[in-house]
Amino acid sequence: MRNLFLLLWRNNFTILFLLLQSLSIYFLIRNNRFQQVSVFNSTNAVVGSIMGVVSEVTEYINLKENNENLSRENARLKALLPESYYENRSVRTMVADSSRSQKYSYIAARVINNSVNKRNNFLTLDKGSLHGVHPDMGVISSTGIVGIVKDVSEHYCTVMSLLHKNSKVSARFNHNNYFGSLSWDGDDPRIAQLSEIPKHVVFKIGDTLVTTRYSAIFPEGVMIGTVRKSNPDMGGNFHDITVNLSTEFSNISHVYIVDNLMKSEQNDLESKTESEDDK
Amino acid sequence: MISEILKYSLKFILLVLVQVLILNNIQYSGFINPYAYILFLLILPVRIPKSLLLIIAFFTGLTVDMFGNSIGLHASACLLLAYARPMVLRILAPRDGYETDTVPSIIGQGFKWFMIYTALLTVIHHLLLFYLESFRLSEFFTTFVRALSSSLATITVIILFQYLFFNQFEVKK
């Protein structure tokens, strides 16, 4: 017994190393798997406020481009207003419309921390639980999809970017309903990979890809990108497609957090069906 | 002693800030990500207790992790660096050992010594860091190239830092 203690004491350096190392690996694995409210990430108030100041400076540098993007989006939305349609009927009556109810609402947020150069990238936004942000909400920008909310603190939230090894988004062609799964191989922040599109589907270079209506996270039809090229894949039943992402991840400053008001209803129903199916 | 702690705290804050505010924002196709904050672990005194070195490395890593939302990643890589440092120092030791107050630096030990010391530890740190980050065998070679190209960038920044800032501190003393 005494010898054992002596052995442990003599190797205390190695033992401390192994202890701390397993602690780090535990953190690392837990961070990849679960959502957490933790002081150890950039939703932490100190880190958040430092990043906030920095983003104010960098935002100023990109002000011109951001303004252009926002005004382009404004123009597109203005075109959808009732005022911009020519009224064909001469009499216009207002009807309290109960045939439609609102499904999505949007929370505007500012990006205060962002990366594109790592294998797993995150963004930090300046909106948190105080503003009604919850984990698993979708995040889009004026040009396309961005990612999914991961952790939320009172004033900040972190977003798992599309540029992350665990990000998988279902995408479909704008002109037909064939859908596949979009992921990122870690190389170029402007290019993603689309898999699971069957061989018989016909498409052209430059075709638009949008989100599907199957996910409860993103609204249907949000722009994702365009087909860049399709590599002929010997064998296999699927196309191997690379996609030009429409969101410029390295230069992103204003985003919208998507609040799906009917998400819990859909998820509850689906999990109920699944659990009944198991019986 | 107190002034030593103060001096090192200052260096710590400076290096972490440079890392998270400037170096983390270098976006050059993902192949060049310098992590020069490890300079802080390289310039701790040679005779620092080994266990203290491990604990400092652990918290340095955690601090950088907080800014990058990668909790545990840098902590793990820094721990390996701290574990390897005494061995590297032993291999590179001069014939009659180190003086009690030796601090690794270009001025003290010479360019060649410092270069080998930095290169060895940086490559160890970066290899673990990049492999833990990607964690996939299918990206084995890309990750390897990434780790090495980033190591080159880190070593360059560290050498520049030595010439720009840290020598002045030592000379004043």
Residue B114: CB atoms within 10 Å: 21
Q: What is the pLDDT of residue A37?
A: 46
Interface test with A, best of B70, B136, B140, B149 (most A CBs within 10 A): B70
- Tell me what the pLDDT averaged over chain B comes to: 87
Which phi and psi (to 5°) does residue B171 adopt?
A: -65, -40
- Chain A contact for B141, CB < 8 A? no
In chain B, residues with a C-beta closer than 8 Å to the C-beta of A54 are 21
Say yes or no: A214 contacts chain B, CB-CB below 8 A: no
Closest residue by Cα to residue B71 from A161, A124, A26: A26
Rounded to 5 degrees, φ, ψ at A182 are -100, 130
- Number of compact structural domains in chain B: 1
Look at domain A169-247 and name its CATH class.
mainly beta
**Residue-level pLDDT at A186:** 83
Query: Within an 8 Å CB–CB cutoff, is residue A119 touching chain B?
Result: yes
Confidence (pLDDT) at A91: 47
3-state secondary structure of A256: strand
What are A37-77's pLDDT values in tens digits? Answer: 455 566 677 777 777 777 777 777 778 888 888 878 887 78
Q: Which residues of B touch A159 (CB under 8 A)?
A: none
3-class SS shares of chain A: helix, strand, coil, % to 5? 30, 25, 40
CA dist., res. A36 & res. A148, Å (int): 14
Report whether A230 contacts A41 (CB < 8 A).
no
Q: Please give the residue that has the higher pLDDT: either A235 or A227.
A: A227
Asked if B65 contacts B73 with a C-beta cutoff of 8 angstroms, the reply is yes
Cβ-Cβ contacts under 8 Å, A31 against chain B: 69-72
Touching A: B residues 6-25, CB under 8 Å: 21, 24-25
Nearest to B150 by CA among B19, B34, B27, B8: B34
Q: Which helix or strand (DSSP H or E) is residue A106 part of? A: strand A104-114
- A141-166, pLDDT tens digit by residue? 988 899 999 999 888 899 999 999 88
The pLDDT tens digits for A121-131 are: 999 998 888 88
pLDDT of residue B166: 63
Residue B99: give the domain boundaries. Answer: 2-25+34-172
Q: How far is B139 from chain A (nearest CA, A)?
A: 9
Which chain B residues contact residue A44 at CB under 8 A? 66
The minimum CA-CA distance between A163 and chain B, rounded to whole Å, is 12
A-chain residues near B71 (CB < 8 A)? 27-28, 31, 38, 40-41
Average pLDDT over residues A202-220: 87
SS3 at position A29? helix
Inter-chain touch A51–B75, beta carbons under 8 Å: no
The DSSP H or E segment spanning A57 is helix A45-61
Element (H, E) at A28: helix A12-33
Tens digit of each residue's pLDDT (9 = 90 or more) over B32-67? 889 999 999 999 999 899 899 999 999 999 999 888
Residue with tokens 């652990």: B58
- What percent of chain B shows pLDDT beyond 70? 93
- A and B: number of Cβ contacts within 8 A: 112
A276 pLDDT above the threshold of 90: no
Residue of A nearest to B73 (CA): A28
> For residue B136, what are the contacts with CB-CB under 8 A and spacing of at least 6?
A165, B143
Contacts of A164 (CB under 8 A, 6+ apart): A120, A121, A122, A147, A184
Please name the helix (run of DSSP H) or strand (run of DSSP E) that holds residue A124, with its range, or none. Answer: strand A122-125
The contacts of residue B114 (CB under 8 Å, 6+ apart) are: B104, B105, B106, B159, B162
Residue where the block lists tokens 């710590």: B12
| Interface contact A113, partner B, CB < 8 A | yes
Of the CA atoms within 13 Å of residue B109, those in its CB half-sphere come to: 25
Q: Examine the pLDDT at B95 and tell me if it is beyond 90.
A: no
- For chain A, give the longest Cα–Cα distance: 100
Q: Which of B144 and A11 is assigned the larger pLDDT?
A: B144
What ipTM goes with this model?
Answer: 0.85
User: Any CB–CB contact under 8 A between A105 and chain B?
Assistant: no
Lowest mean pLDDT among A93-97, A268-272, B114-118: A93-97
DSSP assignment string, chain B:
-HHHHHHHHHHHHHHHHIIIIIGGG--STTT----GGGHHHHTS-TTS-HHHHHHHHHHHHHHHHHHHT-TTHHHHHHHHHHHHHHHHHHHT--TT---TT----HHHH-HHHHHHHHHHHHHHHHHHHHHHHH--GGGHHHHHHHHHHHHHHHHHHHHHHIIIIIHHHHHH-
> Which tokens in the block code for residue B151?
């190591």
